Amino acid sequence: MENKVLRILVVDDEERIRKLVRMYLERNAFEVEEAEDGNQALEMALENQYDLIVLDLMLPGMDGRKVCEEIRKQSDVPVIMLTAAGDESSRIHGFELGADDYVVKPFSPRELVMRVKALLKRAQVKNEVHQDVGHVLSTHGLTINMDSRKVIVEEEEVPLTPKEYELLCYLVQRPDKVFSREELLRDVWNYQFFGDQRTVDTHVKRLREKLGRHSAKVADMIVTVWGVGYKFEVRE
């Protein structure tokens, strides 16, 4: 990864924002390409290999939610959603569609760069692990194939976003250990100095809902430890 120039697609209908983000990313040795509307962004994302996409929510032609949804059908490329809508429902919907992070306008360009680096580092670690790990996690109706990244509950596949999958694997591999939200942000999202702890709560909620559609028992294995965080607990 050290010798590779990482490519980032910046999508925003405001040229001023695109240029600002581009300037800060290029200062950090990233190669940057731009798109100004949703249709152009989707076309570029599917035709090119990007290491990360910074995607505005409100776009002409096709909005960012739809762009993200379409990208997720074919790619696990990290996506940072960029938006003026900072309310919880907007963030949750963005995560549901597969966004890995959410930055609210107005934002600090330096913080955005830090979030980009954090996501890229996490993606690198994930790829290295998947090259080396070839096993299946299985417990009480839940099966996770680490090679295919498939999650099976009661013999049915459960579609998860990349971050939901990583969170589930992290907890399942460490049963009964209680993790604080800060620890999960650090280890799953790789946020060491910043990060909205509600991001963790949102992902846990969505993960439980998706698992619960197939088995309430499996969903209940993700346990809230009040005042602390979460753990994965196998219940007979």
**Domain total in the chain:** 2
Domain match, 13 and 111 both: yes
Amino acid, res. 166: E
In DSSP terms, 138 is beta-bridged to 143
Q: Residue 1: inside a domain, yes or no?
A: no
d(CA 80, CA 77): 10
pLDDT at residue 61, rounded to an integer: 87
Query: What CATH number has the domain bearing residue 154?
Result: 1.10.10.10
Question: Are 160 and 210 a contacting pair, CB within 8 Å?
Answer: yes
Q: What is the pLDDT of residue 84?
A: 75
pLDDT band at 105 (very low <50, low <70, confident <90, very high): confident
The residue from 103, 126, 149 where one domain ends is 126
Q: What is the pLDDT of residues 29-53, one digit of tens each?
A: 999 999 999 999 999 999 999 999 9
User: In this structure, are 120 and 151 located in the same domain?
Assistant: no
Q: Which of 74, 104, 126 is the last residue of a domain?
A: 126
**The model scores a pTM over 0.75:** no
Please indicate, yes or no, whether residues 167 and 224 belong to a single structural domain of this protein: yes
Q: pLDDT confidence of 94, banded at 50, 70, 90?
A: low
For residue 1, pLDDT over 50 is answered with no
> Domain of 147?
136-232
